[in-house]
Amino acid sequence: MTLSSISDLTDSQKEELVASLSVLVVGSAVEGDISAEALTAVAEASGNTLSGSYAALFSSVATKAGGIEKFCAAPGGGGGGGGGGGGGGGDAAEEEEKEEEEEEEMDLGGGMDMFGGDEGGGDY
């Protein structure tokens, strides 16, 4: 779902968003427990409302998790390609490739094909 405006959210979705953002604000400013009262205060300061049940739920989850760090991605955690390798040591790599090829070419014999027939001839 692509969100183009906050006005497109239902009341419940907006309250969840306000609670989530409040947890991020309070969690980044406070060490230790994140209180429901603090979440409600942040929500009201931003011009929004947050019910006591949402504040208690989000407070409890963040506190039990030990803070917001587990919910935030670590910087530099993305992928990206490796660089290139050096140029030496090609003989060892060639030997490994030959061994892998030999393992792949092993004939296990017998068995059935994926359609339940015997291996070998077939018109597919």
What span, in angstroms and rounded, lies between the C-alpha atoms of 76 and 64? 26
**Structure tokens, 108:** 């296990």
The phi-psi region of residue 86 (left if phi > 0; otherwise alpha if psi is between -120 and 50; otherwise beta) is beta
pLDDT, residue 110, reads 61
Instruction: Tell me the C-alpha to C-alpha distance, in Å, between residue 110 and each of 90, 106, 113, 117.
Output: 38, 13, 9, 11
Mean of pLDDT over the chain: 76
pLDDT, residue 122, reads 57
What pTM does this model have?
0.54
CB 62 within 8 Å of CB 27: yes
Query: What are the pLDDT digits (tens) for 29-85?
Result: 777 788 899 999 999 999 999 999 999 999 998 888 888 777 777 676 556 655 655
What span, in angstroms and rounded, lies between the C-alpha atoms of 80 and 103? 31
pLDDT, residue 47, reads 92
Instruction: Tell me the C-alpha to C-alpha distance, in Å, between residue 83 and each of 42, 63, 73, 74, 89.
Output: 45, 40, 24, 22, 17
